[in-house]
Amino acid sequence: MVVIDGKRMDGHKHSYVPGEKLVISPDLRLHKGFGGDLDPITYEVLRHSLWNINEEHGITIVRVSGSPIAAFGYDFNPCIMSEEGEFVYFGPYLQFHSGMQDLNVKWILENRSVNPGIFDGDMFLSNDPWIGTCHQQDTALMCPVFVGDELFCWVGNTLHFADLGGSTPGGWSPAAMTVFDEPVPTPPVKIMERGRLRADISDVFVRRSRLPQSVALDLRAVIAGNTVAKNRILQLVERYGADTVKLAMRRIVDDSERVFLDRLSHIPDGVWRERGYLEVAYPGDRGVYQGMLTLEKQGSHLHFDNAGTDGQVGSINVTYAAWRGGILSVLNPFMGPDLLFAIGGMLRHVSFTPAPGSFTTADHPAAVCNGGGIGTEFSISLANNVLARMMYSSHDVKLRRYFTANNGISQWPVVSLNGVDQRGNPYQNMILDWYAAPVGAYSFRDGIATGGVYWGPKQIAPNVEHNEEMMPILYLYRREIANSGGAGKFVGGATVGIAFTAHGTEQILHQVATCGLTHPTSMGLFGGNPGVPNTYLFQPKAADDEPSLEAMRETAAHPDAIPRLSPKTFNLIQHPGDVYVVWASGAAGYGDPLERDLDRVQADLDEGYLTPDVARSDLGVVVEHGAVQAEATAALRKAERETRVGGEDRKGRRTDGPEAGAVGEYVALYAEGGERVQACRRCRTVLAPEEGNYKDGCRMLVKEVAAAHPLMKDPKEFIDVEMVYRQFVCPGCGGLIETEIARVGDAVLHDTQLRLR
């Protein structure tokens, strides 16, 4: 473990952060396997076989568990790790578990190799967020694989269990103030001992749940998954020899490392920052809290820190494992889309410095049970933009095609339902429709409406009919929400929204525990607008009589007229006839909306993704009778650019030096003699010196935060803090360069600082 500011990052008070070298009992013999040889054919065969083993591991979990969480949500991930906990393969399921599983193995090696010892046939279970999970529901099971008396490698998995106790069914507690209000975290315990399930430990774990049978079943599923993977690896060892298999494992990691290093070599050194906000930390709270993420690239190394993040508060916190997992959920697909989830090689060159006690790397005993819905997604949304900006700066323009702007569900819109179903049985369930969230805009094309987020590619939304069968609800609609994507040169995909009423029951008891209602959490890139915030609307029926289906549809069709819910709403009761509308937070746009191609605008209008009023307000496009008017649009856009500049002549100096590096879509470094300056790429107006903030040279337009998105409402109903939307415009040409959301008084964010050598 490491020590930060005198704080021991050992997984007790502070999150566990392993050091460079693990402290492991000398009695535990590790298989290093430096012998043997590996021809390229055997390597390719083993590479494929190991991938298949990990797939079989995942399939086994789905099969045995059979729970909707595993079978629809795919809320799990299997992995293969080296003897010292380096990832060989990670699975194609929920990506944020990747930041957590290796931490468990390293902690086990450092803390369990002496007492009780690590032996063949053992498996260790853990759901401790301060060690290696994003919230207590996500339970890891790590299995050492021995060849002879040597620890050869690890297989392991993490699965979201339906209920592990605590004050709220399902574990999502909006009102938890400390971990003592939540499911009990369990540091790694040996639940399988030399091939046998320990009845005492198993009972301790199952006893805490409201759904003991389901927990027992899930436990069997994760044990079966590890057993399958372990046996198949041993078969490979038998056929090819331990040293050869180990060489293949190392080579898989080495290869992914080389690809990653090659990509990094095309990216200049620099610092990239992103800032975001979460609101209402607990019921009754009216605060807004700042989270920061800084990425520093130096040579072949990436370093992340969260300095500047506000202190832990209420129920919006996560620990180091979740914060890191959120970052890796972005790093994997953006920087290693072709590595077949062999992420270990990248991790050799990525480090993290958490700020202990901040709400994104909280200390014990902070409340962390909402980590899987709030903090992890928050970490993803910040990492999305620092990595995207870094990749944009690459000399290898191919990398600019690998990232997207922020996807939807940048805060998971919890809709947790409880009550008596249409058949008179008690139920507890969640709406999982949000897995149809949209993909953000690319640097070269539009995002994907309801495309499914990149950090959970296999996650699947249930059918409406399945939900109506499982719960006493009647949907009024499930549709793609027009105008919900962020505007931009390329727009974010449309998000998914639903409206439903209670049906076949007297009432439904609801809980809301999320953030990102009062301001967008899917921030855009290079002037692109953010996606729509999470939207919760609730219209109680007017009279005692249940309104007709037509009347409820009519209500749902006019969202502006429906009262809003707080992001932390407790025990909301819905009767038949009450209309509940929820839209998942949307996907962000890319680039200046005034540069949007008119054919694309016409297509969006034709398909109903865009309405003429928003085409005008957000894209500067004039539409008449459904048709884009090119000439009128050109005039309107020209006028808007002039308005942005403010009519003043602030053009300033222009540079004519050669481009020496891309700061972003609209700002570059230009060489001037021995010096470099940052200037607008459109008109060459000089904005800042080389390491200054280009925004200092921009004209800053400050608007109410509601201006960030056409579907936004005034946030003051739920927060006291004033939020603003800042647009940074080139004073030379009126082109939009970047936007940001901030609390009034927060400094202008310095998002990109290249350090060319």
Specify the residue, 95 or 739, whose C-beta has the smaller distance to another protein: 95
Neighbours of 397 (CB within 10 A): 12
**Nearest distance in Å: CB 397, another protein:** 12
Near another protein by CB under 8 A, which window of 431-439, 508-516, 657-665, 701-709? 431-439
Scanning residues 292 to 311, which ones bind another protein (CB under 8 A)? Answer: none
What is the rounded distance in angstroms from the CA atom of residue 705 to the CA atom of residue 744?
Answer: 10
- Candidate residues 165, 333, 373, 485; the one interacting with another protein per rule CB under 8 A: 333
Near another protein by CB under 8 A, which window of 64-72, 166-174, 617-625, 640-648? 64-72
What is the rounded distance in angstroms from the CA atom of residue 171 to the CA atom of residue 370?
Answer: 8
**Nearest distance in Å: CB 3, another protein:** 35
- From residue 221 to residue 250, what is the string marking binding to another protein with x (rule CB under 8 A)? x--x--------------------------
What is the rounded distance in angstroms from the CA atom of residue 131 to the CA atom of residue 10?
Answer: 8
- Candidate residues 32, 194, 395, 466; the one interacting with another protein per rule CB under 8 A: 466
- From residue 642 to residue 681, what is the string marking binding to another protein with x (rule CB under 8 A)? ----------------------------------------
What is the rounded distance in angstroms from the CA atom of residue 174 to the CA atom of residue 279?
Answer: 12
What is the rounded distance in angstroms from the CA atom of residue 148 to the CA atom of residue 171?
Answer: 41
The DSSP-derived string for 427-465 is EEEE--GGGGPPPPPBSSS---TT---TTSTT--PPPHH
Q: How deeply is 490 buried, as exposed, middle or buried, from its count of CB atoms within 10 A (0-12, 13-18, 19+)? A: buried
Specify the residue, 55 or 150, whose C-beta has the smaller distance to another protein: 55
- Candidate residues 476, 645, 663, 754; the one interacting with another protein per rule CB under 8 A: 476
**Per rule CB under 8 A, is residue 341 in the interface with another protein?**
yes
Near another protein by CB under 8 A, which window of 367-375, 396-404, 590-598, 615-623? 396-404
**Nearest distance in Å: CB 40, another protein:** 4
Q: Alpha carbon 597 to chain centroid distance?
A: 30
Structure tokens, 105: 């193995």
What is the rounded distance in angstroms from the CA atom of residue 462 to the CA atom of residue 18?
Answer: 39
Near another protein by CB under 8 A, which window of 451-459, 510-518, 626-634, 655-663? 451-459
What is the rounded distance in angstroms from the CA atom of residue 600 to the CA atom of residue 434?
Answer: 26
Residue 359: name the closest of 304, 314, 325 by CA.
Answer: 314
- Candidate residues 20, 27, 37, 423; the one interacting with another protein per rule CB under 8 A: 423
**Nearest distance in Å: CB 666, another protein:** 22
- From residue 88 to residue 127, what is the string marking binding to another protein with x (rule CB under 8 A)? ----x-----------------------------------
Specify the residue, 354 or 497, whose C-beta has the smaller distance to another protein: 497
**Per rule CB under 8 A, is residue 193 in the interface with another protein?**
no
Scanning residues 23 to 62, which ones bind another protein (CB under 8 A)? Answer: 40-41, 43-45, 47-49, 51-52, 55-56, 59
Residue 742: name the closest of 714, 721, 720 by CA.
Answer: 721
- Phi, psi at 599, each rounded to 5°: -65, -40
Using an 8 Å Cβ cutoff, are 31 and 147 in contact?
Answer: yes
The label of the residue with tokens 């050492």 reads 144
Specify the residue, 55 or 120, whose C-beta has the smaller distance to another protein: 55
**Per rule CB under 8 A, is residue 611 in the interface with another protein?**
no
**Per rule CB under 8 A, is residue 474 in the interface with another protein?**
yes
Structure tokens, 394: 């690459």
Specify the residue, 131 or 192, whose C-beta has the smaller distance to another protein: 192
Scanning residues 538 to 597, which ones bind another protein (CB under 8 A)? Answer: 549-550, 553
**Per rule CB under 8 A, is residue 418 in the interface with another protein?**
no
What is the rounded distance in angstroms from the CA atom of residue 162 to the CA atom of residue 70?
Answer: 10
**Per rule CB under 8 A, is residue 638 in the interface with another protein?**
no
- Candidate residues 338, 544, 631, 656; the one interacting with another protein per rule CB under 8 A: 338
Q: Which helix (H) or strand (E) holds 417?
A: strand 416-420
**Per rule CB under 8 A, is residue 364 in the interface with another protein?**
no
> Could you tell me how many residues of this chain bind another protein (CB under 8 A)?
86
- From residue 497 to residue 536, what is the string marking binding to another protein with x (rule CB under 8 A)? --x---xx--------------------------------
Residues 6+ away with beta carbon under 8 Å from 747: none
What is the rounded distance in angstroms from the CA atom of residue 714 to the CA atom of residue 253?
Answer: 50
Near another protein by CB under 8 A, which window of 174-182, 362-370, 457-465, 658-666? 457-465
Neighbours of 529 (CB within 10 A): 32
Distances (CA, A) of 39 to 46, 86, 243, 248, 253: 11, 23, 13, 10, 16
**Per rule CB under 8 A, is residue 397 in the interface with another protein?**
no
